[in-house]
Amino acid sequence: MEQDCFRSRCWTTDPRPRYWWHRLPGMDYVPPIYSGLTEEEWQIVRDWFDETDESKRIGECVVPMMSFLHGFIMGNRADCIVQLGTCSGYSMLLIGFMLRRMGARHGLFTLDCDPEMCAISRRWLDRARLDDFVRIEEMNSTAPNAPPAAAQFLGGAPNLVVVDSSHEYAATLTELDLWYPVLAPGGIIFLHDTSCFAQDFDVTHAGGVHRAFVEWRESHPDVEAILLNGESRTMEGTRPLYKDACGLGILHKPAMPDPAS
């Protein structure tokens, strides 16, 4: 619709750091993660940005990462999703809107160990009326009881796991060891913040998601893996094709072999 063109274009001249993607050359358009929303859904997203701008609770995954998820989820009907790290609820809202469009109830189990973040996200979940599609749990993503809780809500094994939680090296290794075995055959794990630049997000200063991804991949050579922008060390300068300098790691669990083959 005509009004779609005015949605996120309001941020193309916004100097605040979180809107960097919208200021890139040629990005004066509305990406599908926003253009596909109903007017009510877009208003909720816009209000979410206004509130988090005011409160400074900024930490959402950016347009390239969210667009990757959008294409994968809606292009393949990924309807058993686990998200490790809820933050203030940005990706929870957008994934919830995707699931509602697909009619995929009980499709997202998202967890965070921060009670304040869970409370904020639940408030937005209620406003968006996504309770039939999303469950928010106050739970540590490394807890052994987390995968059974996810499977109970989803009705089976997750086919997509999104890792965007503590960003700590040791915790990320534990998450991969915990969640990869319960991932459905053929499933995917996406890890945000896998670049050298994003290693500084690790408060333990042990190497962050980047080190964990590299070491885990080396110890599991049978797992198909891709690391986008892993070499990025700054947000400045010329950006590669994948625009997010924080990086994206992808792990693919091989599907079960065909018994007839």
Do the bridges between strand 248-252 and strand 224-228 make them parallel or antiparallel, or are there none, so unpaired?
Answer: antiparallel
| Predicted pLDDT of residue 238 | 66
In sequence order, the β-bridge partners of residue 171 are none
Q: What is the pTM of this model?
A: 0.94
| Predicted pLDDT of residue 2 | 43
Say if CB 192 and CB 162 are below 8 A apart.
yes
What residues of the chain score a pLDDT lower than 50? Answer: 1-4, 261
Percent of the chain with pLDDT over 70: 95
| Predicted pLDDT of residue 260 | 55
| Predicted pLDDT of residue 257 | 64
Q: What is the DSSP string of 75-129?
A: HHT--SEEEE--TTSHHHHHHHHHHHHHT-TT-EEEEES-HHHHHHHHHHHHHHT
| Predicted pLDDT of residue 259 | 56
| Predicted pLDDT of residue 1 | 43
| Predicted pLDDT of residue 236 | 77
- CATH homologous superfamily of 60-252: Vaccinia Virus protein VP39 (3.40.50.150)
| Predicted pLDDT of residue 59 | 87
Say if CB 85 and CB 138 are below 8 A apart.
no
Q: How far apart are CA 38 and CA 130, in angstroms?
A: 14
232 three-state secondary structure: coil
| Predicted pLDDT of residue 140 | 97
- Chain segment 155-199, per-residue pLDDT in tens: 999 999 999 999 999 999 999 999 999 999 999 999 999 999 999
- By residue count, the chain amounts to 261
- Indicate the domain borders of the chain: 60-252
CB burial class (10 A; 0-12, 13-18, 19+) of residue 90?
buried
In sequence order, the β-bridge partners of residue 134 are 108
| Predicted pLDDT of residue 261 | 47
- Chain segment 103-124, per-residue pLDDT in tens: 999 999 999 999 999 999 999 9
